[in-house]
Amino acid sequence: MQTNHYTLHAISTAANQQAISWLKLGVLSLAAAGIFSILLVLARTPAIQEIIPFTDFFHIALVVHVDLSVLIWFLSCAGLLWSLVTPNHGTRLDRLPLALALAGSIMIIIAPFIGIGAPLMNNYVPVLDHPFYLSALCIFGAGMLAQLLLTLIFARPELGADTNQSVLKSGVYFAAAATLAAFLGLLVSYLAIPPTVEGHGYYEILFWGGGHILQFAYTLLVLIVWLWLSDATGARINLRPGVLKGLMFITVAPILYSIWLYSRSDVLSPEHRLGFTDLMTYGGLASLPLGLIITQAILRAKKTHARDKKPIKAALLASITLFAAGGVIGFMIEGVNVVIPAHYHGSIVGITLAFMGLTYYLLPQFGYAAPNSKIAHWQPYIYGGGQLMHILGLAWSGGYGVQRKTAGAAQGLDRLPEIAGMGMMGLGGAISIIGGFLFVIIAIKSFNTKKQ
């Protein structure tokens, strides 16, 4: 049956329950990440940082915070979307992906509290270099791989269908394929790294290629959510489904360049590292056409007065703002300083806000109470506004050479502009923590209240 709306519906009751479970895992990971983020902000805020005795724990908390708030949260939301389009009959095979992902996530959360240390601040998936933590990552990864394989094998992407709903199905399928490409990149890197490489350098190389590829899957997922939620709030895009599917494919098409990078360059070589950096820098521009089309439609749409639509619209606007800010800051990176986290925090938070908006939309669709509209309306602005201050403070301080992944006196805050920038970072981080906890509270409250 043809539909005029960009939306996704679970194709079975079991698929719906699987999607709900993935969403709950995502909210759990954000709640845990928020607890760890409190220590992170305090450890880098002038004056307060002097009384924090856990400088070593800062790095442990940073590893777990990043893995929870990016890897587990993002992939749990991806699992939600993949579940909606994948046949599910409630068998053990269908339940296996979520069981593995949940087990791995719990192990990651408890690791710092059972004495697991040795933090390594490599890019994309920082690790605690300990068998327990590495096993946790592998178990979680196995769960995600199982879910996306079920999607790629059994889902019907409807590439040739001329319906708006098929646009989102095709996009979700493309994102699953891009995620599989990231797993394959991880495997190729693992097999290519010489046994003499250890420690930070090993994990930096291991996750470098796959981590860059995965960003294209995340970017496509956020575009899918923007399209879905913009339609739900009244925005209209008058393009044929085939055109939009083509733009979604173009968004992830640059990852094909990674085949050339893996075949022509040694994973230890500067050419390999620079090649993937350029892939993300310039290949990421492939998302601009669809992103601009959706943004224009949102800005042209009439102002919504429906109370239940205001939180979704707020999350959309905040998401686009942060994602765009992160992209612009990315072109300002020079050297290894806090401009780098300013860039990826903007992009990451832009994606997070989109998934928050999707959560607000889906909760009543899943049979739970709609979020408190007044609080949920302001939550994206509090969280997004705080993060905007956070990344602007980092970008400002980075211009004065403040190094990334440091805390306390190691930051070398000697001049007023540096102190002001990092103070702004700290204040923005504190505000965003409040916004993040508000989201978790709103979501948990809805989960505990059935729709009337």
DSSP conformation letters of 270-312? HHHHHHHHHHHHHHGGGGHHHHHHHHHHHHHSPPP--TTTHHH
At 319 the pLDDT is 95
At 388 the pLDDT is 87
**186 vs 203, 205, 226, 258, CA distance in Å?**
10, 9, 29, 12
At 29 the pLDDT is 96
Decide if 368 is inside a domain: yes
Instruction: Compute the distance between CA of residue 413 and CA of residue 43 in angstroms, rounded to an integer.
Output: 13
Per-residue tokens: 361: 């939309």
At 417 the pLDDT is 58
Q: What is the largest CA-CA distance in the chain?
A: 65
pLDDT, averaged in runs of 10, over the chain (452 residues): 72 91 96 82 60 64 91 97 91 93 97 86 93 97 97 91 91 97 97 94 96 96 96 90 96 96 94 93 92 92 77 94 85 65 82 96 92 89 90 68 48 53 75 90 91 66
Number of domains in the chain: 1
Instruction: Compute the distance between CA of residue 400 and CA of residue 181 in angstroms, rounded to an integer.
Output: 38
At 418 the pLDDT is 55
At 17 the pLDDT is 93
60, 128 Cβ separation under 8 angstroms: yes
371, 363 Cβ separation under 8 angstroms: yes
For 116, phi then psi, to 5°, come to: -75, 125
Instruction: Compute the distance between CA of residue 101 and CA of residue 136 in angstroms, rounded to an integer.
Output: 9
Segments of 61-196 assigned E as strands: 119-120, 127-128
DSSP letter assigned to residue 69: I
The Cβ of residue 9 has, within 10 Å, a number of other Cβ atoms equal to 11
Segments of 144-237 assigned E as strands: none
Decide if 106 is inside a domain: no
Instruction: Write the CB contacts of 307 (distance below 8 Å, at least 6 apart in sequence).
Output: 373
383, 438 Cβ separation under 8 angstroms: yes
428, 386 Cβ separation under 8 angstroms: yes
Pairing of strands 127-128, 119-120: antiparallel
Decide if 404 is inside a domain: yes
Decide if 180 is inside a domain: no
At 307 the pLDDT is 75
417, 400 Cβ separation under 8 angstroms: yes
3-class DSSP assignment, residue 452: coil
Encoded amino acid at 57, one letter: F
At 1 the pLDDT is 37
At 113 the pLDDT is 84
DSSP letter assigned to residue 305: -
DSSP letter assigned to residue 120: E
Instruction: Compute the distance between CA of residue 375 and CA of residue 380 in angstroms, rounded to an integer.
Output: 9
Instruction: Compute the distance between CA of residue 356 and CA of residue 371 in angstroms, rounded to an integer.
Output: 11
Encoded amino acid at 147, one letter: Q
DSSP letter assigned to residue 124: S
Segments of 28-126 assigned E as strands: 119-120
At 421 the pLDDT is 63
Residues in a beta bridge with 234: none
Instruction: Write the CB contacts of 378 (distance below 8 Å, at least 6 apart in sequence).
Output: 314
At 429 the pLDDT is 79
Decide if 350 is inside a domain: yes
203, 335 Cβ separation under 8 angstroms: no
Decide if 370 is inside a domain: yes
CATH label of the domain that carries residue 336: 1.20.120
At 407 the pLDDT is 46
pLDDT digits (tens, 9 = 90+) for 224-281: 999 999 999 989 898 999 999 999 999 999 999 999 999 998 999 999 999 998 998 8
Instruction: Compute the distance between CA of residue 162 and CA of residue 243 in angstroms, rounded to an integer.
Output: 10
Predicted TM-score (pTM) of the model is: 0.90
Decide if 345 is inside a domain: yes
Of 217, 189, 214, 215, nearest to 203 (Cα)?
189
The Cβ of residue 269 has, within 10 Å, a number of other Cβ atoms equal to 11
The Cβ of residue 300 has, within 10 Å, a number of other Cβ atoms equal to 9
* Residues of the domain holding 355: 304-452
Decide if 50 is inside a domain: no
